[in-house]
């Protein structure tokens, strides 16, 4: 059964905004007292919260699909729809949030930190909010926009000051249990620790956290054993403690060779840009299991060689607790020095104000199509406006045309080479496809028409004078051709001596002349 998860993919869906309402207030003696349609409620957000009480991503491993509530629809009498309920997801400290491509979105390091990972959709405006001195009673409302939907990757990197590294069964779990209140699983077989364990150590006036990382073996960087997967939990540590087993019975192993192998594997682990490589951080060697007589002799033998290589060496025993006090005080000193240096070197946060006026609201891209070029309009505003438009309402479509014209979309299409009847797509992917009609100007406020209609979108059925003249000439020509055809048939029948009723008769030429 899985009890610890440090990487999970979440499938998130934020709430959809509610639609605005189309309503006209009606009272006694005031049948049309003006628009009173309320706005739709905004969709709920999906929010990540850094919680110190959460230590694993296990709950999201079992339930990766999370969604927020939708906003309510607007109602008459200026009543707005209910706001969608937010979905708050607590995550452990040190959780790194990434998109599916691996781009880091945020690092949840501060307790109580909140990050809106999936914003909810906007509620649509009702016709009361859309009314103006020129558009007194709109017959349409805006639709709610959909919320953000997609995947994010949560990767837990334990926040610890000290990391214990070493071979399997070197005594790392026993050490963290001896110096803290942590109670990890301890057994006499390799790879007992399958996930990192955290413990809090109080040494004098300094309190720090210590992490026990699953054991490493030679070739871990190539995927052997548990590999280097769990070394992400030591990326944030201040110092490393190499726990070396002086009582191992495995042939060909000794503390010096074990240390060389661990150093080689740590050097093969790439840390993120901007962080200190693992081998350049403070390192302390703990020679463990000196309660065994042969182990103490071996520790006394290898200690000068380790000190000659620049390591601080401590001989400890988690059974007799020998050397643990000296080790914890040395670790507290390293942590305290690092904290003081971090405070002194902390960069001053600079507030950068970037003007938004130079940003383009949209762009027009020309794409090749089967039946000619396709002009694609990309931008947050045009895409959002299309999502808010009810295309079953002509007045709403006209309002969209006005907004696009004021934004300068028509000028952009002209500059891109579009002509009347060109295929225009708004938004990425399939988007909204329509044939561009450049004569659709912004003058809806000056036109009178029933609510819900736009006279610019109504095709005029009346024919022009030239069209009526052409149709008249066509009818006259058709009648003349019909009369000529009947006359030809009549003459042919008379020449053959056939009466109109089909009987053969002799026709006298004199009678015919008469």
- 206 by Cβ neighbours in 10 Å (0-12 / 13-18 / 19+) ranks as middle
In the chain the first and final C-alpha atoms are separated, in Å, by 120
Domain identity same for 148 and 178: no
Domain identity same for 125 and 64: yes
**Residues contacting 459, CB < 8 A, separation 6+:** none
Domain identity same for 409 and 449: yes
> Residue 21's pLDDT is what?
94
Point out which residues pair with 239 in neighbouring strands. Answer: 162
Q: How many residues does the chain have?
A: 514
163: left (phi over 0), alpha (psi -120 to 50) or beta: beta
> Residue 215's pLDDT is what?
65
Q: Is 354 part of any domain?
A: no
185-229 confidence digits (pLDDT tens): 665 555 555 567 777 888 888 888 888 877 676 655 555 555 556
Strand residue runs (E) in 173-238: 197-203, 206-212
Q: Position of tokens 């720090």?
A: 208
Q: Is 356 part of any domain?
A: no
Domain identity same for 219 and 333: yes
**Domain stop point among 439, 457, 475:** 457
Q: What is the mean pLDDT of residues 26-35?
A: 78
Q: How many domains does the chain have?
A: 4
Q: Is 39 part of any domain?
A: yes
- With beta carbons less than 8 A apart as the criterion, state whether 3 and 195 touch: yes
What pTM value is reported for the model? Answer: 0.66
> Residue 218's pLDDT is what?
66
Q: Is 350 part of any domain?
A: no
Residue 509: pLDDT band (50, 70, 90) is very low
For residue 175, give the CATH number of its domain. Answer: 3.40.50.300
347-364 confidence digits (pLDDT tens): 555 666 666 555 678 888
Nearest in space to 153 (alpha carbons), one of 108, 100, 103, 113? 100
113-151 confidence digits (pLDDT tens): 999 999 999 999 999 999 988 888 898 999 999 999 999
Q: Is 289 part of any domain?
A: yes
Q: Is 212 part of any domain?
A: yes
Domain identity same for 299 and 389: no
Domain identity same for 37 and 86: yes
For residue 137, give the CATH number of its domain. Answer: 2.70.210.12
Per-residue CA distances from 352 to 349, 355, 459, 496 (Å): 9, 10, 53, 104
Which range of residues forms the domain containing residue 15? Answer: 1-156
Residue 460: pLDDT band (50, 70, 90) is low
Domain identity same for 14 and 150: yes
Domain identity same for 273 and 383: no
Which two structure tokens, joined as six digits, stand for 267?
């050097």
Domain identity same for 146 and 169: no
Q: Is 312 part of any domain?
A: yes
**Domain stop point among 131, 156, 181:** 156
Domain identity same for 114 and 194: no
- With beta carbons less than 8 A apart as the criterion, state whether 130 and 440 touch: no
Domain identity same for 193 and 291: yes
Q: Is 287 part of any domain?
A: yes
Compare 61 and 507 and report the one with higher pLDDT.
61
């Amino acid at each position: 059964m899985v009890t610890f998860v440090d990487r999970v993919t979440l499938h998130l869906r934020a709430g959809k905004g509610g639609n605005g309402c189309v309503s006209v207030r009606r009272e006694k003696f005031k049948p049309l007292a003006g628009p009173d349609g309320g706005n739709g409620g905004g969709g709920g957000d999906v929010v990540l919260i850094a919680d110190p009480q959460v230590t694993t991503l296990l709950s999201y491993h079992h339930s990766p699909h999370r969604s927020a509530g939708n906003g309510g629809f607007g109602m008459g009498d200026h009543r707005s729809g209910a706001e969608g309920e937010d979905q708050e997801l607590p995550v452990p400290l040190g959780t790194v949030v990434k998109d599916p491509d691996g781009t880091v979105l945020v690092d949840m390091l501060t307790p109580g930190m909140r990050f809106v990972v999936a914003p909810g959709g906007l509620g649509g405006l009702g016709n009361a909010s859309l009314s103006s001195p020129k558009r007194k009673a709109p017959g349409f409302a805006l639709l709610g926009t959909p919320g953000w939907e997609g995947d994010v990757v949560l990767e837990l990197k334990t926040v610890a000051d000290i990391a214990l590294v070493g071979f399997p069964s070197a005594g790392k779990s026993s050490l963290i249990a001896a110096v803290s209140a942590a109670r990890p699983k301890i057994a006499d077989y390799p790879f007992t620790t399958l996930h990192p364990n955290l413990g809090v150590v109080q040494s004098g006036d300094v309190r720090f956290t210590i992490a026990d990382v699953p054991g490493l073996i030679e070739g871990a960087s190539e995927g052997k054993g548990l590999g280097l997967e769990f070394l992400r939990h030591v990326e944030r540590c201040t110092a490393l403690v190499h726990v070396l087993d002086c009582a191992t019975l495995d042939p060909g192993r000794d503390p010096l060779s074990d240390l060389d192998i661990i150093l080689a594997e740590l050097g093969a682990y790439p840390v993120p840009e901007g962080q200190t490589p693992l081998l350049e951080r403070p390192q302390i060697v703990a020679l463990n299991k000196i309660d065994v007589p042969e182990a103490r002799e071996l520790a006394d033998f290898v200690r000068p060689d380790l000190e000659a290589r620049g390591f601080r060496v401590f001989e400890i025993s988690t059974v007799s607790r020998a050397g643990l006090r000296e080790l914890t005080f040395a670790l507290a000193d390293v942590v305290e020095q690092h904290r003081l240096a971090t405070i002194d070197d902390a960069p001053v946060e600079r507030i950068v104000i970037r003007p938004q006026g130079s940003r383009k609201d949209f762009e027009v891209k020309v794409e090749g199509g089967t039946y000619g070029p396709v002009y694609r309009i990309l931008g947050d505003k045009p895409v959002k406006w299309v999502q808010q438009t009810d295309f079953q309402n002509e007045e709403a479509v006209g309002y969209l045309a006005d907004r696009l014209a004021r934004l300068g979309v028509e000028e952009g299409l002209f500059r891109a080479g579009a002509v009347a009847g060109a295929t225009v797509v708004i938004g990425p992917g399939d988007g909204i496809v329509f044939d561009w009609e450049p004569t659709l100007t912004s003058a809806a406020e000056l036109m009178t028409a029933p609510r819900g209609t736009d006279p610019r979108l109504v095709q005029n059925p009346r024919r022009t004078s030239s069209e009526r003249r052409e149709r008249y000439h066509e009818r006259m020509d058709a009648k003349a051709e019909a009369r000529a055809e009947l006359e030809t048939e009549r003459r042919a029948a008379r020449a053959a001596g056939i009466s109109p009723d089909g009987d053969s008769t002799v026709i006298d030429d004199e009678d015919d002349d008469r």
